[in-house]
A and B are shown apart, each in its own frame.
Chain A
């Protein structure tokens, strides 16, 4: 049996016996990424609605920037957040660097543009259908955004899941602001990078398996949510 094969075997064993260290890392990953996505959804969905329905100066610039920011390199986001949180930075007093909070901030910054840009498109589509009727009934724009958010809820799931997928998959941002500290800021992606370089393939591959399963689950959910959205759109 080759090294890789035996590593794969122990990786599978780690996953299915729910190894303590592995579970801790997965747990932190989920906590960080779910929190980041929650923040991104709370900011990104209303922002997408506002960009779709409101007319204000600078609106087009914001849209262009958001679309550009969808593809921001995670390391650049990590660096920017690092500079903000470092002791000399504007938010240095809070001492957040190398904590899960810093990682949540970095991933929120990374993912909010994705959620906002994708949900803006959902709002645009729904608004073209709803505009006449809602204006006719006397709904103001703020009210209309709330109405669309509710009626488009199943169509807004894929944008949020896309954000979640991106958050769980990135390494650069959490590595820089989290520091990959054992038992403190070690998440799946950073651990894979570290353990691979140390030659501990079993742990790396175990986490790799979990990440792939997670990615499959997210994509399956997107598919199911889109189907549900299409159905409710009859």
Chain B
């Protein structure tokens, strides 16, 4: 977990470890290995020879300036994009289209034109979950995401910050082992950001592996155990948060940590 844990209001509602894990019978899908992955679109190489492994336990942040390739990397890991070169392996097995037990929250939350509850229920229905269990699960995640008061509202009438929490609740309701999040707090004000980060801590504490992108250095410092530093489609560093922030190796990472503008 990150360095500071000053979010008591949400943390109080955090269940003990195990409460929100996937069913015990499901074998772990981690580690996730990204091996020599490159991605071309047209004649442009957007991601260049990425190599990294994601293991369970830590809060992993993909950090980098705008246009670094964070979103593309997440979409590759999640399974929405195929690499041009290289492979994405889950526990040594090549990924099919959007493998199970892992979900993603996109930068712009996509709300179905339904109530908050129906949005969360949608994903559960797709998994074929029975009605009673759905009810229980929905109640759980509404509480965890602090959305109880908004349960019946039309999802699209909510603020972006609230919609983002619905998106996280919807993804988390599936009890994924891994949750990818693409800049979930971009363009949010401090209090909405704080609310999102609180929910993310709760998700992390429940045992779900988080892999999240951000370009926001202070946010990375608050949350990360581990940093993947991307710059212009290349992975320049993978290290623990302490090492990265105290002793960045590459000049690009040094400049980024010192707050210089990078692109």
Which residue of the partner chain, among A138, A139, A143, contacts B100 with CB atoms under 8 Å? Answer: A138
Identify the closest chain A residue to B78 (Cβ): A136
User: In the bound complex, do residue B110 and residue A129 qualify as a contact, i.e. CB atoms below 8 Å apart?
Assistant: yes
A side interface size, CB within 8 A: 15
User: In the bound complex, do residue A135 and residue B97 qualify as a contact, i.e. CB atoms below 8 Å apart?
Assistant: yes
A181–chain B nearest beta-carbon distance, Å: 47
User: In the bound complex, do residue B126 and residue A138 qualify as a contact, i.e. CB atoms below 8 Å apart?
Assistant: yes
How many A-B pairs fall under 8 Å by CB?
Answer: 42
B119–chain A nearest beta-carbon distance, Å: 10
Given A151-B113, A151-B114, A232-B113, verify A136-B156 contact (CB < 8 Å): no
User: In the bound complex, do residue B112 and residue A136 qualify as a contact, i.e. CB atoms below 8 Å apart?
Assistant: no
Contact with B along A120-153 (1 / 0, CB 8 A): 0000000001101101111100010001000100
Identify the closest chain A residue to B167 (Cβ): A133
B side interface size, CB within 8 A: 21
Q: Which residues in A have their C-beta under 8 angstroms from that of B170?
A: 137
User: In the bound complex, do residue B110 and residue A135 qualify as a contact, i.e. CB atoms below 8 Å apart?
Assistant: no
Given A132-B80, A151-B112, A151-B114, verify A137-B156 contact (CB < 8 Å): no
Given A130-B110, A234-B156, verify A136-B104 contact (CB < 8 Å): yes
B181–chain A nearest beta-carbon distance, Å: 12
Given A137-B122, A138-B100, A234-B156, verify A132-B113 contact (CB < 8 Å): no
Inter-chain CA distance A135–B104, complex, in Å, is 10
User: In the bound complex, do residue A133 and residue B106 qualify as a contact, i.e. CB atoms below 8 Å apart?
Assistant: yes
Q: Which residues in A have their C-beta under 8 angstroms from that of B114?
A: 151
Q: In this assembly, does B84 line the interface, its C-beta being within 8 Å of a C-beta of chain A?
A: no
Q: Which residues in A have their C-beta under 8 angstroms from that of B157?
A: 234
Q: In this assembly, does B98 line the interface, its C-beta being within 8 Å of a C-beta of chain A?
A: yes
Which residue of the partner chain, among A130, A135, A151, A232, contacts B98 with CB atoms under 8 Å? Answer: A135
8 A Cβ contacts from B52-94 to A: 75, 78, 80
User: In the bound complex, do residue A138 and residue B127 qualify as a contact, i.e. CB atoms below 8 Å apart?
Assistant: yes
User: In the bound complex, do residue B106 and residue A132 qualify as a contact, i.e. CB atoms below 8 Å apart?
Assistant: yes
Identify the closest chain B residue to A133 (Cβ): B110
Inter-chain CA distance A135–B114, complex, in Å, is 18
B75–chain A nearest beta-carbon distance, Å: 8
Q: Which residues in B have their C-beta under 8 angstroms from that of A139?
A: 126
Inter-chain CA distance A138–B127, complex, in Å, is 8
What 5 pairs between A and B have smallest CB-CB spacing? A133-B110, A151-B113, A137-B123, A234-B156, A136-B104
